[in-house]
Structure 1
Amino acid sequence: MAEFKVGAPKARAILEAIAQDDEAEPARPLHAVPEPATETESKPDDIVPDPNQVTLRESRQDDTNSQVTDVADPGTGAKVRPVKLWPVLLLAMPAFVAVWSGWVGLGRLTGFGPIQVLPGIWDDLTINSAITLPIGVEAYSAFALRVWLSGSPHTDRARRFAKWSALGSLGLGMVGQVAYHLMSAASVTQAPWPVTTLVSCLPVVVLGSGAALAHLVRDNTDMEVKN
């Protein structure tokens, strides 16, 4: 078929003729006789594909598709590279030290300090209540930012509450840091009563905001499960 450019019926006929000639008389040299190609002989359906070539072609296509899927974004076609996390950790470590020291120092100036966690039960178990400020305020900020900026299917009400509460908690954190450093630079040993009042209310505000946001997120999850 490839040598004489003929279809499958012609090729079979030639093979049968060669076999009959081999039986009838000694083999003689053959030569190709070109014939005008007809519409029936030029049809693609008459040509039997080579299985090896088909398999090789399909494997190449599969390899190409797999490579595109691994490195290309199906929406834009651009290469997708995972975001490295070590820069975030590098930025977070000094920020954590500065924020922690600022909140703990402000807590000491506003009356926070060592307390007995289980008085009358375990008197030796004490904890410095000043650490509740950085843990509560900054942890809630991260939680609210997650709800606000994540791609999870939250309701508009939950996203709106998370947005404004996250911005508010970050703003309170900045105000607290400024207040502590100003008082520390002025060698103040006891914070004024407005600062003490505001800082004393922070744990309650953080608890209420966290509980409200958790309920908003949970209500949305329950509605999706019921639907």
Structure 2
Amino acid sequence: MFKIKSFLMAAIATVFTGTVATSAMAADNIPTQAETYAGINFAAQAKYDLSCLGTSSCDTKAKSSGKIYAGYMAAPTMFEGVNVSQGAELMYYKVGSAVSTYPSTLSTASPETVLRSTEGLGASYVLQANFNDFSLNGRAGIAYTRNKTNYSDISGTATDKAFIVPVFGLGVRYSLAKNITLNADYDRLPNKFGGDKGVINMLSLGVGYKF
């Protein structure tokens, strides 16, 4: 965890120090003390990165996806000229269904449709760099995720399996008002359906509130 923290801090400082040095900061919008926050995001796109091998049709884009989250950020410190905050975040995410269809075989008299969906509860370490009205953050943690698969064959079987997986994310926050932010996030959510391993890449937009 120390190596991850040091790497993220160094990367943020290297990329953005030049911008900070030439931009005037609005002190009112840069945190000076610890704060808690919560928010909700709806997915602009969520896609299962899974194999479509052997399918007659395969839609990897998920329907109706998003997340809710809450976190705590400690009082910020200066690192290489950048105002940096550290904290922890909890999130609940739900990724809607994606559908694959397999052609009929000797064991299935008609084509078989497979419906997948995912939900999870995660906890992450957060490192955030604060500039003017904007802040940038990186997140790394673990999640308890449940993957559901429904088969439309004669037996109508379904599976529901749970896993512990690593999760990663990046985010941008814009201060619309003193306590309100507009948020854009990318989340990388590993998953596994049967023997098929992959990830879900989710891009989401939403609003947050700082208490």
- Relative contact order: is structure 1 or structure 2 higher (C-alpha 8 Å, sep ≥ 6)? 2
The structure having more radius of gyration, on CA atoms, is 1
- Is TM (by shorter chain) over 0.5? no
What TM bracket, shorter-length normalisation? under 0.3
Q: TM-score scaled to structure 1, two decimals?
A: 0.19
Q: Which has the higher helix share?
A: 1
Q: Which has the higher strand share?
A: 2
